[in-house]
A and B are shown apart, each in its own frame.
Chain A
Amino acid sequence: MRLPELDAVLADINRIILGKERPIRLALACLLARGHLLIEDLPGVGKTTLAHVLARVLGLDFQRIQFTSDMLPADILGVSIFDRGSGAFHFHPGPIFTQLVLADEINRATPKAQSALLEAMEERQVTAEGKTRPLPDPFFVIATQNPAHQIGTFPLPESQLDRFLMKIELGYPDPVAERELLAGADRQKMVAGLAARITPQRLVELQTAVREIHASPALIDYVQALAAYTRTSPRWQAGLSPRACLALLAVARAWAAIDGRNHVLPEDVQAVLSGVIAHRLHPVDEVARSDPEGLAAALIEAVPLP
């Protein structure tokens, strides 16, 4: 199963966001697995650019919602406004009726506004004034949250975090990449000049194909062994839930698909593990919490392949 268009998509993104192959690939895997992505990082590392580029090369509509503490659900979902001409209420869809939504600084909004977004994400539809309206397909939310300035924010509770398939960090670029960035052309212009590599329909097809990627009994054993270890090990407060295992398998499938394979290898599971467990597993050791990659590596090395 070769998917050359995915290679082209990745190449395009990597040309603009330099030195971030792995997070970009994880973001694409998350999208292919029909999940939503949470990016936790400092401002200015390219979160918005990543969302923009993804929307461009995948040919998706794009909307950005900046979350603020005075935001209301209607600001996200849309409102019905009385139209004097026709004498009836007309629904004006909110910014969420878009294929790719960037929800910036989601933890700035009140829980009420947060939950409006998260419920829409989960159900892929919006119910307003008694009428249910489906969201577009594909529908993909990239939410960002700022880890540093937590004063005056409403951190997402764990149950809400679970709605995101993955949580990744971008981090600072390495010096070589940063130098190239500084010396290179204007990113915004580059983004504007990007052409769509695939159509939204093709993306839906790819998402369907990813779900058919084979996970052998041996591989499922491995996922179970990983989960079992987290449930019995004293290193974590609580183990991985069955939903987390499903998420792990789904992203590993997408990762295998990007690699051009029709079956999942343990390497795929290991590659995506940090993104899947980062917001789901909480280490007893608070210091270790800031290093999800290190935690994932420790978990991988503790569980032998069945």
Chain B
Amino acid sequence: MARANRPVSRRQAWWLLAGALAAFLPLTQQIPLWLALAAGAAFAWRAALTWRQWHLPPKWLLVLLVIAGTVGVFLQYRSIIGRTPGIALLVVFLALKLLELRAARDAIVTALLCYFLVLGQFLFTQTIPTALLSSLTVLITTATMLAASDDRPPPLMQLRRAGLMLAQAMPFMLLLFLLFPRVQGPLWGLPQDRYTAVSGISETMSPGSIAQLSQSDAIAFRVQFKGQVPPQSQLYWRGPVMPSFDGRTWSVRQTLAAYTEIPYAVSGPSVDYELTLEPNGKFWVFSLEMPGNLPADSALTADYQPITRQIVRNRLRYTQRAWPETLAGLNESRAVLRDALALPAGGNPRVRALADDWRRRHGDDGAAILATAQEFFNRQLLIYTLNPPLLGPDMIDEFLFDTKRGFCEHFAAAFVYALRAAGVPARVVAGYQGGEVNPVDGYLVVRQYDAHAWTEAWIAGRGWVRIDPTAISAPSRINSNLAAAVPAGEELPFLARTDMSWVRELRYRLDAVTNGWNQWVLGYNPQKQRDFLAGLGLGEPDWRSMTAALAVLCGLVLLSLTGWVLRNRMRVDPAVLAWRKFTRHLEAHGVAWHNWEGPQAFAERAAAQVPAHAQVIHDIAALYARLRYAPRPSPQDLLTLRQRIGEFRL
């Protein structure tokens, strides 16, 4: 173990510092500030130690620091187990390990810690920039490993060597990625971790809650249609359905799954699509209305809201068929209809009076009341805006008669309230409306600012009918997009604006790349793997044949790499081949060439034995010597050599 006890040179110390910094810097966002600062101080200390060639800190101090760091992490997270505390602890260890670089063994341990921290980055994010950044870190860390065994080459050469090694590892990486039997579920998910909040549609809706989302351009999901993309006005992505109202807030039903099969008969034309859902931290899955089938592990609530069994913590992909013209809920249960009529006692007297009036005029004719309500909304000249004024306790009244300015949740809430007051069962449906087709890859991208709320009313003989009260007042919201619907000058997220075409173009391209990454790299699950292998004509391989294929292919890659190296080493100079032909010819006529003999020496000897051909022999030997030993041999010389040897006859 003499090698392991070699002291760490200054150059190696610099390398380790560089590797540690590369591994540490991307994690600074994830760890608490005090730890980032403390680790930074340790790195600076290390730099000073190396620069000034000071003595390493004493062991008792390091032990104290390790204890302090561990206690600090525990106090911060109340645990030292789990993703973030674990990474924080590793950062503590890395920073302090740098302060006890005594022997080569410590250098190796530090480099391995760096690799581990690279892995740690992926526990937080798995985007393309993360992957690129960690590739760079892996490169630096690998160069550090190389430097730990031999610190003489200059930094650029170490990086080059590390790069070459990583490039050689690339085919194995690809093979393992493509062929290693996949398990269901994402590679990087850590289910025991609490899900950190993601903005998105929540289980309740109160004034302002959806308007808030309109400021976010985060992607909610992406859709790939099989065939034509339906018109914008039909793209209602059904999410949480909210039948209960407490006077201010609408909320979803507490009882969850009611139907594991589609409870209504589908009819009319259908639309097929594949949806890739971004994590939303809820049970929500979104479907184009009305879904004809359910994603795996999901069900419908009593309000036909699709939900999953488990919280969507990871990107989810499913294929669905939507039937936009389906009449759903023709035989709706009494309980659901009762819920869809419930209103808190008192409040909003003006709407109630108006609804009583409708009821007097039309009695139980739901369809007629619906038409009247739509006409009323139209007549009120309501304004669709992102910045509605604050509302008091009778918010429906205030919105409809006083302020007349609201966002979709105001419209939906007021419409449902009015219908219920008039005795027509109605409910709020939240979800997303529209989306934007990325011309680069053809995916429809739905972002948080596409969040929307609309309503459903139950009409006897027609079931649940979708009415979008926002569309009555601001049809452009539904027919085009948010930017077209809100008054000019209101603040919109950067990406929702339509006036900068080059930004949009750029965004389309970036998004297409990100989507490809999500679909093919992060979303490479057993299904994708099977599809891919089937595409290669491998049928439906099981894990055994896949492992066998993996072993065989890895062997082949190894062989070809070895062959490539050997070929480079053993490649025979064509001039030598020609020369051997020449010497064989002479040998057949009694002038044997010794394999240690230089061309000129041989020419002298051969010319003496066959004086008739002395000149030719000398010429050929001179040509050959020039090709083999002169600077910058010319290809013309090789051709001449071959020609003269070809013509040479004794």
Contacts and interface: CB of A to CB of B under 8 A. Distances in A.
B629 A264 contact: yes
A266 B597 CA distance: 8
Contact of B599 (A216, A265, A303): A265
B630 A267 contact: no
A216 B596 contact: no
A305 B596 contact: yes
B594 A301 contact: yes
Contact of B625 (A265, A270, A300, A301): A265
A25 interface: no
Contact of A305 (B598, B626, B630, B631): B598
Interface in A188-232: 214-216, 218-219
Interface in B598-613: 598-601
B598 A270 contact: yes
Nearest to A304: B595
B628 interface: yes
Interface in B566-605: 573, 594-601
B631 A216 contact: yes
Contacts of A301: 594, 596
A156 B625 CA distance: 40
Contacts of B625: 265
A56 interface: no
A267 B573 contact: no
Contact of B596 (A214, A262, A263, A300): A300
Interface in B611-650: 625-626, 628-631
Interface string A295-306: 000001111110
B596 A267 contact: no
A260 to B, nearest CB: 13
A216 B600 contact: no
A267 B595 contact: no
A257 to B, nearest CB: 14
A304 B594 CA distance: 8
A180 to B, nearest CB: 27
Contacts of A214: 629-631
Interface string A123-140: 000000000000000000
B623 to A, nearest CB: 13
Contacts of B626: 263
A79 B120 CA distance: 72
Nearest to B593: A305
A270 B598 CA distance: 9
B629 A218 contact: yes
Contacts of A267: 598, 600-601
Contacts of B597: 305
B631 A262 contact: yes
A216 B625 CA distance: 10
B576 to A, nearest CB: 8
Q: How many residues of A sit at the interface, in one of the four size bands?
A: 10 to 19
A266 B598 contact: yes
B435 to A, nearest CB: 63
Which of B573, B594, B595, B629 has the largest count of A CB atoms less than 10 A from its CB? B629
Given A216-B629, A218-B628, A219-B629, A265 B600 contact: yes
A233 to B, nearest CB: 14
A227 to B, nearest CB: 15
Nearest to B600: A267
Which of A216, A219, A302 has the largest count of B CB atoms less than 10 A from its CB? A216
A303 B628 contact: no
A263 B630 contact: yes
A214 B599 CA distance: 17
Contacts of B629: 214-216, 218-219, 263-266
Given A219-B629, A264-B629, A265-B625, A305 B595 contact: yes
Contact of A265 (B594, B596, B598): B598
Interface in A281-306: 300-305
Contacts of A215: 629
A219 B627 CA distance: 12
Given A218-B573, A304-B595, A305-B595, A263 B600 contact: no
A263 B598 contact: no
Contacts of B594: 301
Contacts of A216: 628-631
Nearest to B594: A301
Contacts of B599: 265-266
Contacts of A265: 598-600, 625, 629
B626 to A, nearest CB: 8
Interface in B183-228: none
Interface in A242-276: 262-267, 270
Given A218-B573, A267-B601, A303 B630 contact: no
A304 B598 CA distance: 10
B602 to A, nearest CB: 9
Contacts of B600: 265, 267
Contacts of B628: 216, 218-219
A44 B579 CA distance: 47
B573 A303 contact: no
A71 B600 CA distance: 49
Interface in A36-80: none
Interface in A150-178: none
B598 to A, nearest CB: 4
Contacts of A270: 598, 601
A270 B595 CA distance: 13
Contacts of A218: 573, 628-629
Nearest to A218: B628
Nearest to A270: B598
A114 B277 CA distance: 86
A219 B625 CA distance: 10
A301 B597 CA distance: 8
A214 B598 CA distance: 17
A266 B596 CA distance: 9
A165 B362 CA distance: 120
Contacts of A219: 628-629
Contact of A303 (B596, B598, B601, B631): B596
A114 B205 CA distance: 100
Contacts of A303: 596
Contacts of A263: 626, 629-631
Interface string B292-312: 000000000000000000000
A55 to B, nearest CB: 32
A34 B481 CA distance: 85
Contacts of B630: 214, 216, 262-263
Contacts of B596: 300-305
A266 to B, nearest CB: 4
Contacts of A304: 595-596
Nearest to A225: B596
A228 B115 CA distance: 40
A303 B626 CA distance: 21
A303 B595 CA distance: 8
Nearest to A303: B596
A8 B598 CA distance: 27
A215 B598 CA distance: 14
A304 B596 CA distance: 4
Contacts of A305: 595-598
A261 to B, nearest CB: 8
Nearest to A269: B598
A215 B629 CA distance: 7
B618 to A, nearest CB: 14
A303 B630 CA distance: 21
A264 to B, nearest CB: 6
9 tightest Cβ-Cβ pairs between the two chains A and B: A304-B595, A267-B598, A266-B598, A214-B631, A263-B630, A216-B629, A218-B628, A263-B629, A267-B601
18 contacts: A214-B631, A215-B629, A216-B629, A216-B630, A218-B573, A218-B628, A218-B629, A219-B628, A263-B631, A264-B629, A265-B600, A265-B629, A266-B598, A266-B599, A267-B600, A270-B598, A305-B595, A305-B596
Given A266-B598, A270-B601, 7 more contacts: A216-B631, A218-B629, A263-B626, A264-B629, A265-B599, A267-B601, A302-B596
